[in-house]
């Protein structure tokens, strides 16, 4: 009520702006995920439904972000320290794969229906997939479970340690066309540019499957790329061949600023069944 009274005292235009703000979700500041929140973890929380999709009769082992088992064969690997669960992000916040590789802290709030509640301790998840039918704020967990539970979550940097990007190629690369993905990023990628033969850089198109496609060519390796994170940091690196592999680059670590920079209860120990969690998830296969 207070808000409406205040609004009525202002000019019509200001009141309209405030009312429009009230009608949208409380957390949104323009981006599908508020990336600034990664400098101040916990400052912005999203909420929605949490569901489970894991352990469906072994069709897809990669999930749509394409990381697959390539570099994520154990959840204890350097690039995913602390990650306990892979997560399918709702479609609006997946944003055509921009959210791939994003780490999040999530927990159940206790409300919901089903046999296996999502625990109320904070856990770390990593976005490796999309949940097309999930509403804004909702996440689908790549693990066995039952029910639909209210969850809250917020974005955090991935704990990549001293690890660098990893490159992997898809399809049949040739001198005129190739497609590749990048995993093990501290923050998600917003833009990727390739250096062309005349020295200029141009943006590559990103697919729903988190792959970057280059066509036109002819291309020759080594290739120089510029990768920009969702926080705006740009790093330059060289891909030696279509074998992919380890990079030299990683996004610089940003200082944490928020009062809630350390969640009250951080990630617990990694689950014993890491590999199983990754191999699950048949119905998410949406590869082009």
- Residue 98 burial by Cβ neighbours in a 10 Å radius (0-12, 13-18, 19+): buried
Closest CA to 206 of 223, 173, 228: 228
Q: Which of residues 91-150 bind ligand NAG (CB under 6 A)?
A: 95, 98
Site map (CB under 6 A) of ligand NAG, residues 163-192, x = contact: ---------------------------x--
Give the shortest CB-7-to-ligand NAG separation in angstroms.
26
Give the shortest CB-98-to-ligand NAG separation in angstroms.
4
Q: Which is nearer to ligand NAG, 75 or 89 (CB)?
A: 89
Q: Which is nearer to ligand NAG, 100 or 247 (CB)?
A: 100
Distance CA 155, CA 173 (A): 34
First to last CA, the chain: 50
Give the shortest CB-124-to-ligand NAG separation in angstroms.
22
Distance CA 50, CA 40 (A): 23
For ligand NAG, which residue has the nearest CB? 32
Give the shortest CB-35-to-ligand NAG separation in angstroms.
9
Q: Which is nearer to ligand NAG, 56 or 95 (CB)?
A: 95
Backbone angles phi and psi of 18, in degrees to 5: -65, -45
Size of site (CB under 6 A) for ligand NAG: 5
The size of the chain, in residues, is 288
Distance CA 266, CA 82 (A): 9
Q: Three-state SS string across 78-102, please?
A: HHHECCCEEEEEEHHHHCCCCCCCC
Distance CA 125, CA 106 (A): 7
Q: Which of residues 189-248 bind ligand NAG (CB under 6 A)?
A: 190
Q: Which of residues 17-36 bind ligand NAG (CB under 6 A)?
A: 31-32
Q: Which is nearer to ligand NAG, 53 or 212 (CB)?
A: 212
Structure tokens at 118: 């999502």
Q: What are the residues facing 85 on neighbouring strands?
A: 125
Give the shortest CB-249-to-ligand NAG separation in angstroms.
18
Give the shortest CB-163-to-ligand NAG separation in angstroms.
22
Q: Which is nearer to ligand NAG, 32 or 87 (CB)?
A: 32
Q: Which is nearer to ligand NAG, 33 or 105 (CB)?
A: 33
- DSSP H or E run through 276: helix 274-279
Angle at 51 between CA 45 and CA 55, to 5 degrees: 130
Give the shortest CB-118-to-ligand NAG separation in angstroms.
25
Q: Rule CB under 6 A: which residues touch ligand NAG?
A: 31-32, 95, 98, 190
């Amino acid at each position: 009520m207070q808000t409406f009274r205040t609004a009525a005292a202002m000019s019509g235009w200001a009141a309209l702006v405030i009312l429009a703000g009230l009608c949208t979700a409380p957390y949104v500041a323009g981006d599908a995920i508020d990336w600034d929140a990664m400098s101040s973890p916990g400052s912005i929380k999203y909420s929605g439904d949490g569901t489970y999709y894991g352990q469906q009769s072994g069709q897809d082992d990669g999930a749509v972000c394409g990381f697959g088992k390539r570099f994520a064969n154990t959840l204890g690997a350097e690039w995913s320290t602390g990650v306990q669960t892979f997560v399918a992000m709702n479609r609006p916040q997946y944003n055509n794969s921009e959210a791939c590789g994003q780490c999040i802290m999530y927990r159940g709030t206790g409300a919901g229906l089903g046999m296996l509640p999502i625990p109320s301790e904070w856990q770390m998840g990593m976005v490796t997939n999309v949940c097309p039918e999930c509403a804004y704020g909702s996440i689908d967990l790549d693990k066995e479970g039952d029910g639909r539970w209210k969850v809250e979550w917020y974005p955090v940097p991935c704990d990549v340690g001293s690890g660098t990007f990893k490159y992997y190629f898809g399809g049949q690369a040739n001198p005129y066309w190739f497609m590749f993905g990048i995993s093990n990023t501290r923050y998600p990628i917003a833009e990727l540019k390739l250096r062309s033969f005349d020295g200029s850089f141009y943006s590559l198109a990103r697919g729903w499957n988190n792959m970057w496609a280059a066509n036109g060519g002819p291309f020759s390796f080594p290739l120089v790329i510029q990768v920009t994170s969702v926080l705006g940091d740009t790093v330059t690196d060289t891909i030696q061949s279509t074998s992919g592999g380890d990079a030299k680059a990683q996004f610089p670590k940003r200082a944490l600023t928020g009062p809630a920079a350390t969640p009250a209860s951080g990630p617990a120990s990694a689950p014993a069944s890491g590999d199983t969690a990754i191999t699950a998830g048949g119905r998410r296969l949406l590869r082009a």
